[in-house]
Structure 1
Amino acid sequence: MHKPLLAAVLAVAAVSPFAAKADENNQLDNFFVAGNLGQSNYRIGGISDKSDVFQNVRFGWRWNGLVGAEIGYAYLGQAKNTVDYATAYAKPRVGQLGVTAKYNFYNNWYVTGHGGYLRSRTTAGVTVGDVSASQRSWNNGWYAGAGVGYDVTKNVSLALNYDNYHVKYGRAGASQSQVNTNVAAYSASVEYRF
């Protein structure tokens, strides 16, 4: 079994007791939608691109307002490197499925954490003069993040966040190589709870 899938299964198993308790108390009313906007920071071999836009939207719920599950989609921008007349780039997009937690520690201030499995689709290519070539790759990976925020109202929160996405490109095999990279994302977010 693949490590990210195993991590997702273990996360669901860890959350199950909270879900059962919340269902007994009839408190499954913490559905949320969150949007992040910020900057991505690529760390791929010789490429160090810190200037691309990061966007993320997540949907989920938290039992008793504390622990729950989420699904989402993230646009990680584009890593780009130009040497002489050649430009290489990589553009990953990810779907994510994981667990989420929120804890109010003082009045309206809170900390959050989330993480889980991701499925990436990365388009990579190279351009030399007027000639271009590109290829897509689909792979599994993981993501994790943390944030600190403030509940503006009962339903609306603002936060500052750090997320890390572990993305792969290519196929692992005897004759093919696979590139592993971490994409760090710094963002501000808005969350609306129903």
Structure 2
Amino acid sequence: MEFSMQKTLLAAALAVVSLSPLAAKADQSSPLNNFFVSGNLGQSNYRLGGISDKADVFQSVRVGYRWNNIIGGEVGYTYLGVAKDTNGFVSQSVKTRAAIIGVNAKYDFYGPWFVTGHGGYLRSRGNFQVQAGDISARQKAWNNGWYAGAGIGYNVTENVALSINYDNYKVNYQRGDQPIPRLKANVSTYSAGVEYKF
């Protein structure tokens, strides 16, 4: 599964790179660079029943390209943090990471101010752990889902932009060869972001 996901991400990255000369030729009049890399840091909030500690650190890194500096594609990696629950001497937790591939858009609406939006497919990995005294059990599950989000920001320079963002990740937790219940969770995130165009 990990190797398959790596091949998918590599294919998507190569597709973006291979299309860039055509986009650059169609957009030679634009003074702005269209390749970008962005990083986000903030807080995640799991909407998952039975979990008492739902908030943790959120981190995300994305790379992509925008045609005409407005709309384009992206690939990235997201860490959604850990959700925990403790009941007496029994504790359980789930840690979620995801690879993402999707579309993104950015629109300058008033001077250096802009709005953004993005969404697409995610491949998540959930790491489960149950601890009862000295006894512990772990399990991993890979599943498909989707993500979407929006933000508002400010272009500090032609190449550097700052933003605040809200994103939602629809995550499934299930393994066909294990008797764990099917769970679906929305993980909402609030973050600050930095984007660099090159």
The TM-score, its normalising length taken from structure 2, stands at 0.83
Give the 5 Å matches for 1:38-117.
38-117=42-121
Q: What do the CA deviations read for 1:90-135 (whole angstroms, capped 9, x no partner)?
A: 0010000000000011000000000000000110111011111010
Show structure 2 runs of 5+ residues with no match: 1-20
Deviation at residue 72 of structure 1 after TM alignment: 0.3
Q: What do the CA deviations read for 1:112-163 (whole angstroms, capped 9, x no partner)?
A: 0000000001101110111110100000000000000000000000000000
Q: Give, in whole Å, the separation in 2 of the partners of 1:137 and 1:162.
A: 26
Matched, 1:150 2:163: no
Deviation at residue 23 of structure 1 after TM alignment: 4.5
Q: Give, in whole Å, the separation in 2 of the partners of 1:184 and 1:21.
A: 33
Among 26, 36, 52, which residue is 1:24 paired with? 26
The answer to whether the 8 A contact 1:41-1:48 is kept is: no
Deviation at residue 45 of structure 1 after TM alignment: 1.1
Deviation at residue 31 of structure 1 after TM alignment: 0.3
Q: What do the CA deviations read for 1:40-78 (whole angstroms, capped 9, x no partner)?
A: 001111215343100000000100110000000001000
The TM-score, its normalising length taken from structure 1, stands at 0.84
Aligned to 2:16: none
Aligned to 2:37: 33
SS of equivalent to 1:55? strand
Provide closer, same or farther for how the CA distance between residues 118 and 23 of structure 1 changes in structure 2, counting only shifts above 3 A.
farther
Percent of paired sites with the same residue? 58
- 1:122 partner amino acid: G
Among 117, 121, 137, which residue is 2:141 paired with? 137
The answer to whether the 8 A contact 1:34-1:191 is kept is: yes
Deviation at residue 178 of structure 1 after TM alignment: 1.4
Q: What do the CA deviations read for 1:163-194 (whole angstroms, capped 9, x no partner)?
A: 00011111369x76311001010000000001
Aligned to 1:13: none
Q: Give, in whole Å, the separation in 1 of the partners of 2:115 and 2:47.
A: 26
Q: Give, in whole Å, the separation in 2 of the partners of 1:61 and 1:21.
A: 9
- 1:76 partner amino acid: L
Show structure 1 runs of 5+ residues with no match: 1-18
* Superposition RMSD in Å: 2.0
Q: Give, in whole Å, the separation in 2 of the partners of 1:62 and 1:162.
A: 20
